[in-house]
Amino acid sequence: MRTEQAPIIHRSDYAPLAWTVTRVDLHFALDPQATVVTSRLACRRNPEAAAGPILLDGEELETLSLTVNGLDPAAGTVRRGETRIEIDVEGDEAELEIVTRINPQANTALSGLYRSRGGYFTQCEAEGFRRITWYPDRPDVMARFTVTVEGDKATCPVLLSNGNLVEEGELPDGRHYARWEDPFLKPCYLFALVAADLVVLERRELTASGREVLLQLWVEKGNLDRTEHAMESLVHSMRWDEDSFGLELDLDRFMIVAVSDFNMGAMENKGLNIFNAKYVLAKPDTATDTDYEHIESVVAHEYFHNWTGNRVTCRDWFQLTLKEGLTVFRDQQFSADMLANAAGAEGADSARAVKRIDDVRVLRAAQFSEDAGPMAHPIRPESYQEINNFYTATVYEKGAEVIRMLHTLLGPEGFRNGMDLYFSYHDGQAVTCDDFVEALSEANGVDLDQFMRWYSQAGTPRVRATGDWNAADGSYTLTLAQHTPPTPGQADKLPLVIPVAVGLIGADGTDLPLQLDGEQHGGATTRVLQLTEATQQWRFTGLAAEPVPSLLRGFSAPVILELDEDDARLAFRMAHDSDACNRWDAAQRYAERVLLALAADAAAGRALNVPAPFVEAFARLLSDERLDPAFRAQALTLPSEAYLLERMEPADPAALRAAQIHLTAALGKVLSDDWQSLAEALAVPGEYRYHPADAGRRALVNLALRYLAAGQVEEGVALAVRRSESATNMTDRFGALAALVHGAVPAAQAALGAFYRRYREDALVLDKWFALQAGAWRRDPAAAPVLGRVRELMADPAFSLSNPNKVYALLGGFFRANPGEFHAVDGSGYAFWAEQVIALDAANPQVASRMARALENWRRFTPALQALIRPQLERVRDADGLSPDVGEIVGKALAD
């Protein structure tokens, strides 16, 4: 039984440290099991802070020596705890020298200095630096770093750290060293070191001001042919930040390193970004269009952090969204611009909408569900037990939505002026979200006090819309009412500032000019209304007939819009809404309605019937050739299972799965001719290129194959088999394979086997293979449950519990991406979940915690499922030596 509980850290407890660090000189003598780290710290008393000792954090360190100003510290001046050292020092300056020994080989948590495939790598955000040496490990301590790395030349020919290479040389015993100097002040979470056997792709570019910079992409031998796209993405990111925000690369050298074992996507260490190999490596035979797209956006995201995160950083970890929300917004804008440019003038709007839809889909699936459970928190949390649990969809994705609303409210120019002012005030500082919003407010002369509630209130706001048509005077009164449901620890919410983009559609399907009561000028067809009170009304005048409202265009705020629309009206908007995002949303709402009704029938044991008007509306979209294929692929993809489960009261995964199986099969069968002709007409000829127009066509063809296989349409299955065998790129090959597996057709097994044989040496491609099987649907109730296959796959030689990508693919693919199977009514999935979370936690708490979160919303499920889940949550909670990471998740899940 566990006894300790991780303490709760509160935002309100922030106080500056009595002592800060100005310079750091690190020396690493690398050794697999006994790396010796010598750290010299120039410490300075902080005149703004209350008096106190020097405070240092440490974890898993063996301390060999510690001196203060070159001497052993006087008796009684040093207090040593397991994770904290306090040193009393006279005067205002002091130099500490600390020697520690660490064991990178034993570091399975992948936080601090660890090993991966013979090399050494670091990950310090959020609190990994304390696992390397004693240090005041918090972001408001900003210092200049010099780093000397010394290691074995044969196994680690490449020695990298942040900044500029200032010296390198040979040492006795086959060793060598390199010294790096970072000219910029930085918090220790941005420190990085890499020592490995790598090869490099290099490129020299000029910045806007004409400075030459060296861009390097370091990968394992044999992977150089997969680096071009990431390098292109980096160059595009540089240009975009110069053009859009006037922000230039500030270093002479910028490096990206790919590593196979990594807890998350990538890390923005100053001048030395370390990436999960998944977000670097791509060639047509191994990476899909989606991989190409993700690589472009993650490269951009980390690059953009150089300004939003590194040059201006966070004062404390509660401010995380200051850098993450803003940087996600920036990478979303970048991707939208890249897609729009590639699409050309005619396709630009649709390309942007497709990107926006992608982002909305992620928000709805991941963030809305977070808001609906025990982990609900504002984008700036008030407390945490383990900060690594707060790299969440709320901090990132909802945080980006909050920045987007500021962008909408201030306009592009106003936003840019605010950003300029923010950098002019805070470059080189560690600041808060208030500092950011104040700069925007000051630059625009706008009061943003009420807007700040987005930073402190958790939960997804509901906006209820009602319309009142007055035929007598040709006016339409729109009433918007907002309400945010209670979340843990936050019962009452205040009204937020919600920008609602509105259009009115006439009976012929075209947008009407908007004329607000009492206004001289009108005429725009979309307007942004600001909802700031609990309820507000707007009266539109000069209308000839009752309009159809199109609300929250472009998804102008991260809210749930409640609007009573009958099926006919949804079908009308599916066909006519000029706002592509809303057109997609109308299709999603209609599909949700149909699926939830089917699920209710399934739960009650009634026969399932798909309503004909839905199929007709769906078919019209399918064959509307004026619509860009990428958009059609979005509109014809059903809402995600995670999102639908949130909309179900209570959540019944088995019933929902039955509904999905029935609906996809029906749509595949009934529309088989349309799907087939579309698959033929849109096949992309010629050599693969990553281009949004081609990608859109491939996406729609793959979707067609999916519906055809779901409907067991013979010709469609045959086409998928052919493509899975002979496609010339991974998007087509994997799309076809996925169709076969999701359709659960007999040919799937052979195709999976062939795919495995072809890519057995390719870890990243096999991740797809694992995930696909973990997420498989069982269309035949007599077929073996997917859990059995997952267990089998864990024994596959290509699987490894110590590689996060593998865990996310196979276990994540089952726990998170396959609710219909994971929530098996016999509870077998839950017992397996507890077993795996406990096993993972012993080695890597961050990965375990991510898996643990698959059950946090357990109270939303049927009582029968809840009764099976609770004992497994308790089993994990009571496990010996549970980490604070998993402890916080299951603790919150079980709290009353």
CB 199 within 8 A of CB 218: yes
User: Is residue 134 part of the contact set for ligand B3K (CB under 6 A)?
Assistant: no
With CB cut-offs between 5 and 8 Å by kind, which of ligand B3K, Zn ion, none does residue 125 bind? ligand B3K
Choose the stretch contacting ligand B3K; rule: CB under 6 A; options: 299-307, 397-405, 645-653, 759-767: 299-307
User: Is residue 302 part of the contact set for ligand B3K (CB under 6 A)?
Assistant: yes
Sign of the dihedral defined by the CA atoms of residues 838, 844, 850, 853, in that order:
positive
Residue reference for tokens 């809840």: 866
With CB cut-offs between 5 and 8 Å by kind, which of Zn ion, ligand B3K, none does residue 274 bind? none
CB of 214 to ligand B3K, least distance (A): 22
CB of 880 to ligand B3K, least distance (A): 24
DSSP state letters, 763-795: HHHHHHHHHHHHT---SSTTSPPHHHHHHHHHT
Residue type, 10: H
The size of the interface with Zn ion (CB under 5 A), counted in residues, is 2
**By C-beta, is 273 or 731 nearer to ligand B3K?**
273
Choose the stretch contacting ligand B3K; rule: CB under 6 A; options: 25-33, 264-272, 725-733, 758-766: 264-272
User: Is residue 371 part of the contact set for ligand B3K (CB under 6 A)?
Assistant: no
User: Is residue 362 part of the contact set for ligand B3K (CB under 6 A)?
Assistant: no
Short-list 214, 241, 219, 246, CA closest to 230: 219
CB of 809 to ligand B3K, least distance (A): 19
Q: Tell me the sheet residues that pair with 544.
A: none
Short-list 147, 149, 127, 146, CA closest to 138: 127
Site for Zn ion, residues 322 to 341, rule: CB under 5 A: 324, 327
Choose the stretch contacting ligand B3K; rule: CB under 6 A; options: 263-271, 412-420, 456-464, 694-702: 263-271
**By C-beta, is 126 or 890 nearer to ligand B3K?**
126
Q: Which of 296, 302, 646, 888 is catalytic?
A: 302
CA distance 376 to 382: 11
With CB cut-offs between 5 and 8 Å by kind, which of Zn ion, ligand B3K, none does residue 391 bind? ligand B3K
Rounded to the nearest 10 degrees, the angle between the axes of helix 612-622 and helix 653-670 is: 60
User: Is residue 388 part of the contact set for ligand B3K (CB under 6 A)?
Assistant: yes
Using DSSP's 3-state secondary structure scheme, residue 151 falls into: strand
**By C-beta, is 268 or 732 nearer to ligand B3K?**
268
**What number of residues does the chain have?**
896
Would you give the DSSP letter of residue 224? G
User: Is residue 391 part of the contact set for ligand B3K (CB under 6 A)?
Assistant: yes
**By C-beta, is 304 or 858 nearer to ligand B3K?**
304
Cis peptide bond prior to 547, omega within 30° of 0: no
CB 354 within 8 A of CB 631: yes
**By C-beta, is 269 or 457 nearer to ligand B3K?**
269
CB of 132 to ligand B3K, least distance (A): 15
Within a 10 A sphere around the Cβ of 731, how many other Cβ atoms?
Answer: 25
| Active site annotation includes 386 | no
**By C-beta, is 135 or 189 nearer to Zn ion?**
189
**By C-beta, is 236 or 352 nearer to ligand B3K?**
236
User: Is residue 324 part of the contact set for ligand B3K (CB under 6 A)?
Assistant: yes
With CB cut-offs between 5 and 8 Å by kind, which of Zn ion, ligand B3K, none does residue 241 bind? none
Q: What token pair was written down for 588?
A: 């999603």
Alpha-carbon Rg for the chain in angstroms: 28
CB of 267 to ligand B3K, least distance (A): 5
Burial class (CB in 10 A: 0-12, 13-18, 19+), 692: buried
The size of the interface with ligand B3K (CB under 6 A), counted in residues, is 12
CB of 302 to ligand B3K, least distance (A): 5
CB of 547 to ligand B3K, least distance (A): 43
Site for Zn ion, residues 270 to 329, rule: CB under 5 A: 324, 327
CA distance 498 to 457: 13
CA distance 694 to 702: 12
**Residue 561: its H or E element:** strand 560-563
Within a 10 A sphere around the Cβ of 457, how many other Cβ atoms?
Answer: 18
CB of 654 to Zn ion, least distance (A): 37
Site for ligand B3K, residues 265 to 284, rule: CB under 6 A: 266-268
Would you give the DSSP letter of residue 189? G
Within a 10 A sphere around the Cβ of 222, how many other Cβ atoms?
Answer: 9
Which distant-in-sequence residues (6+ apart) come within 8 Å of 183 by Cβ?
A: 144, 163, 164, 251
CB 155 within 8 A of CB 118: yes
CB of 66 to ligand B3K, least distance (A): 28
User: Is residue 130 part of the contact set for ligand B3K (CB under 6 A)?
Assistant: no
**By C-beta, is 363 or 671 nearer to ligand B3K?**
363
**By C-beta, is 125 or 767 nearer to ligand B3K?**
125
CB 388 within 8 A of CB 846: yes
Q: What token pair was written down for 822?
A: 């994971």
Site for ligand B3K, residues 95 to 114, rule: CB under 6 A: none
Q: How many CA atoms lie less than 13 Å away from 328 in the CB half-sphere?
A: 24
With CB cut-offs between 5 and 8 Å by kind, which of Zn ion, ligand B3K, none does residue 267 bind? ligand B3K
User: Is residue 264 part of the contact set for ligand B3K (CB under 6 A)?
Assistant: yes
> Which residues are designated catalytic?
302
**Binding interface with Zn ion (CB under 5 A):** 324, 327
Give the interface with ligand B3K as residue ranges (CB under 6 A). 125-126, 264, 266-268, 301-302, 305, 324, 388, 391
